[in-house]
Chain A
Amino acid sequence: MSLDERITPEQAATQVGTASGENKEYSVIGKSVGRIDGRAKVTGQAKYTGDLKFPGMLYGKILTSPHAHARILSIDTSEAEKLPGVKAVITHKDVPSLKYGISPARWDENIFCIDKVLFVGDKVAAVAAVDEETVYKALKLIKVEYEVLPAVLDPLKAMDEGQAQLHEDYPRNLNTEIHQSFGDVDKALAEAYHVRTDYFVGQRAYQSPIEPHSAISVWEDDKLTVYSSTQSPHYFQYYIARQFGLPMGKVRVLKTHIGGGFGGKLEPTGLEFAGAVLAKLTGRPVKMFYDRHEMFAHNRGRHRQYMKLSTGVDQNGKILGVHADFVMDGGAYTSLGVASAYYAGALLTILYDFDNYKFDMYRVYTNLPACGAQRGHGHPQPRFAFESHLDNIAKDLGIDPIELRLRNARKANTVTPNDFKVESCALTEAIEKARDISNWKQKRSHRPQGRGIGIGLGAFVSGAGYPIYRTNLPHASAVIKVNEDGSSATLYTGAVDIGQGSDTILCQMAAEAMGYSFAKMQIISADTEAAPHDFGAYASRQTLMSGWAVKEAGEEIKAQLLNTAAGIMGYAVEELDCRDERIFVKDQPEISKSFAEVAKEFFVTQGPLVGKGSYTPPKLGGKFKGAAVGTSPAYSFAAQVTEVEVDEETGEVKIVEAWDVHDCGKVINPALLHAQVHGAFYMGMGEAVWEEVKFDDQGRILNSNLAEYRLPTALDMPKFHSELVDSYEPNAPWGVKEVGEGATTPTMGSISNAIFDAIGVRISSLPMSYEKVWRALKEKRKQQTT
């Protein structure tokens, strides 16, 4: 797909409908069609990996470390092997010792620990047996002798002299160090009318998809098939092949349905690696699975960040320069943490227009579960910090927080100091609409006791400009095959539906591009053998990137059909078009033929009717170290307003009502889009007030279950409004942008600012729990009386 084939914004202005999705130009996109997998999911027919069974299938589990940091002195598996029903027991001796990790910059994980375990939950051995009960019994019979070592549990001390070291290759437990500087921050702050510095602390949060991870490995001769609850069959295939020295063509990874991911299922786990070895040794399919506790221990959730922000503004509140100085608790391994660390600073420039920016970051290793990418990847906590910081500045200057944001809001066709090109941007409109529909002015000036209202802005990439490992593969590709008689068409794509609805919207896009109907579309997705390559569900990339590939494939089908129709109908190709399954003469629409009829004719005369497409983003970003992270063909923007009620006696926070206004480009399926916003707000709200993974002083998780790791219930969710502003992105198919991750970025900031408005005290650490609010109020009363 070359750039000049894309529609211009001027052309688009005449073609694109309103935010409500009303559109005369399009037949299939812009409509809230029901999910393609809806019926399967409401009847219980939809199979998830854990629901699959194969003849002779064994069950497998991983034995994990009970210590945060310890040397392995010996492992004795003999008793476990003797247990009837046990088919294989493996340790590091039975698997490749090659290090792996999803970030190629830091491969630091082994399938099983060799010398040392690095956190409570680190992988030591695995068992395959005839049933679950036998597996659990066998795990208890494996004897591991450890020499316990001092553990690093405090990320702020991890870099100090004299601390235990996790990885030899990374002295002072320094996993990633970043120093970026754009413009002249020191000068900007020196010359500013007002400079403010604030400190904020985030927490460890966990994605907590309701479906636990599982993986089933099956060997046929020298070919390995892995069914997995994965967000990216491609990365799984790549890393599994690499680990076992197999050609990628000998590894097939696929998913059936997946019960949520949110970033936690983006990288292969011990379940895939150990399962593949156990299946090979036993010659039988092996199903590996995590229970809820093991999911928390495997983690790869949100990093805890320590964030210092200094900002200089002029008299009117115009931001002149920002310095972000962060430390991030990475846990025991890298996971996606290099990217998380870069994202934390990179995206701070996206919402507000300023020229001078400095970002310092230390991601440190600790003897805790490894952190990775959770919805909004690296951005939500810094965004919480910055939005809170900005409200503090607004208060210092006596400017309304919305007014301050409007004065600094990014505009369309601008470039950030760290070289991100922003083409479409309707942020100002979004802020104004959020202000108006929430009745901001009225609520701000007449505030009942205990009530508060706050705003937070957010933004995110619509797909990462560069893949996770270096490769020149296209980012997305798609094939569409029309059935011989034209009565259905199947879209084959590597894109991954993890619940967000990509199967549905990509079929809408395919039907639109072909001139076909959604009801006749079928899809085979996320299977490395049956479908062509796509990087998968992360960085909110599929609507834009997979969408481009699908559009191109659909247009190829349409072009071939029109060609055939021209011959049959006796018109020039240019005189014809196809829509809603009818090929017609543009000037005389009553002269037409059905899609099916022409498709059948095509098959008879020319063979299979197939279209294909692929997409590679243009070269994006600047030339400095880390310039790639945060680049994207397009950015979404959002404004969220939240109203809270605080019980001043108990500190209890109730989220009363919330309004989200989004600039996410052209909308393909409004119902699914708003549903993404609901879920994103929900997750942000959980992290704002309740969610936190806690540890004891030995590095053991205290709340690795869904009762004590408190996910909000239906009773916690406020009245919620999701609205859009008109927007069109020139770098995207039909002008689309992302929504799923960006919508979680403003939430913690808007709730923080609402609580600040309600009680007049800033809670600067997450979650803003009842206890913290209560303590802050107590402190405030103490100060008032003295």
Chain B
Amino acid sequence: MAQVITDAQGVKRYLINLSVNGDTHTLMVKGNSLLVNVLREDLELTGTKKGCELGDCGSCTVLMDGKPVNSCMVLAVEAEGRAITTIEGVAPNDKLDKLQESFIDHAAIQCGYCTPGMILSGKALLTRNPHPTEEEVREAISGNLCRCTGYVNIVKAILAASEQE
């Protein structure tokens, strides 16, 4: 159980350890703090985007223990003890992940606002299912909205990366 500290106004704050991209961060968060805001504001990992804050667009997608979640729908306190991967953690060093390369090679990026979420949803799919069908790719990214690409090249990029497995 996270340690709780109550301030003079009676607001409770929880001391949590958050594991993000392999690093552990010790943070004080309110009970209603959203994971997306803690990532963006406290940890300055602004690669995780906010498009709706209602769980509709998928631009805030991160991986929690390998599964894609909308981080605007997750409380920071719920994320304690889970392994969180954000877009900044996909390429562990200077070299890009092959899915990231594939997005560039297939012109699957336009404005790029959906891109972090798309890559993480794609990544989760390929980990679970290294050789998905086109339909499975479409299914896997159907919670990620993109207003620019019509998904055509995003689907191609994910399929092409899967062929390199």
Contact = CB atoms under 8 A, between A and B. Distances in A.
Q: State yes or no: do A and B come from one complex.
A: yes
Contacts of A207: 147
Given A44-B87, A258-B111, A706-B52, A38 B151 contact: no
Contacts of B147: 207-210, 260, 262, 679, 683, 711
A500 to B, nearest CB: 7
B57 interface: yes
A50 B138 CA distance: 29
A51 B47 CA distance: 8
Contact of A714 (B86, B111, B138): B138
Interface string B33-51: 0000000100011111111
B50 A682 contact: no
B145 A210 contact: yes
B111 A209 contact: yes
A37 interface: yes
Contacts of A42: 87, 96, 100, 103-104, 109, 112, 115, 119
Nearest to B57: A706
Interface residues of B, number: 54
Given A34-B105, A35-B109, A292-B51, A714 B56 contact: no
A22 interface: no
Interface in B73-105: 86-88, 90-91, 96, 100, 103-105
A683 B152 CA distance: 13
**Majority-rule SS of A interface residues:** loop
B154 interface: yes
B129 interface: no
A292 to B, nearest CB: 5
A678 B105 contact: no
B142 A48 contact: no
A683 B143 CA distance: 17
Given A34-B104, A679-B149, A681-B150, A50 B50 contact: yes
Given A258-B111, A682-B151, A706-B145, A43 B91 contact: yes
B59 A210 contact: yes
Contacts of B155: 714
A355 to B, nearest CB: 38
A2 interface: no
A46 interface: yes
A218 to B, nearest CB: 18
Contacts of A209: 111, 113, 147
A526 to B, nearest CB: 13
A705 B110 contact: no
A212 B147 CA distance: 12
Interface in A497-539: 498-501
A46 to B, nearest CB: 6
B148 A43 contact: no
A259 interface: yes
A715 interface: yes
A51 B40 contact: yes
Interface string A254-265: 000111101000
Contacts, number: 164
Nearest to B121: A714
A711 B91 contact: no
Contact of B46 (A47, A260, A713): A47
Contacts of B151: 678, 682, 713-714, 717
A597 interface: no
A43 B139 contact: no
Contacts of B139: 714-715
A39 B116 contact: no
B142 A720 contact: no
A468 to B, nearest CB: 23
B114 interface: yes
A208 B50 CA distance: 13
Contacts of A48: 46, 49, 113
B86 to A, nearest CB: 7
A51 B116 CA distance: 14
A51 B49 CA distance: 8
Interface in A704-749: 705-707, 711, 713-715, 717, 720
A45 interface: yes
A43 B87 contact: yes
A448 B139 CA distance: 27
Interface in A17-53: 32, 34-35, 37-48, 50-51, 53
B54 interface: yes
A259 B113 CA distance: 5
A185 interface: no
A39 B48 CA distance: 16
Nearest to A711: B145
B141 interface: yes
B149 A682 contact: yes
Contacts of A406: none
A267 B100 CA distance: 34
Contact of B113 (A210, A679, A681): A210
Nearest to B114: A210
Contacts of A501: 110
Contacts of A210: 49, 51, 57, 59, 111, 113-114, 145-147
Contacts of B114: 210
Contacts of A41: 109, 112, 115
B52 A705 contact: yes
A436 interface: no
Nearest to B144: A714
Contact of B111 (A34, A499, A681, A705): A499
A208 B119 CA distance: 21
Nearest to A681: B150
A39 B104 contact: yes
A292 B53 contact: yes
A44 B153 CA distance: 19
Contacts of B5: none
Contacts of B154: 714
Contacts of A627: none
Interface in B115-160: 115-116, 119, 137-139, 141-155
Given A34-B104, A44-B48, A499-B111, 20 more contacts: A35-B107, A44-B86, A48-B113, A207-B147, A210-B49, A210-B51, A211-B49, A211-B113, A257-B111, A260-B110, A499-B148, A501-B110, A675-B153, A679-B149, A681-B150, A682-B150, A713-B138, A714-B141, A714-B151, A720-B150
**7 nearest A-B residue pairs (beta carbon):** A44-B47, A499-B111, A259-B113, A682-B150, A41-B112, A44-B87, A51-B46
26 contacts: A34-B107, A38-B103, A38-B104, A41-B109, A41-B115, A42-B104, A43-B100, A44-B48, A48-B46, A48-B113, A208-B147, A210-B111, A211-B51, A212-B51, A259-B113, A292-B53, A292-B56, A499-B111, A500-B110, A501-B110, A678-B150, A679-B149, A682-B150, A711-B145, A713-B138, A717-B152
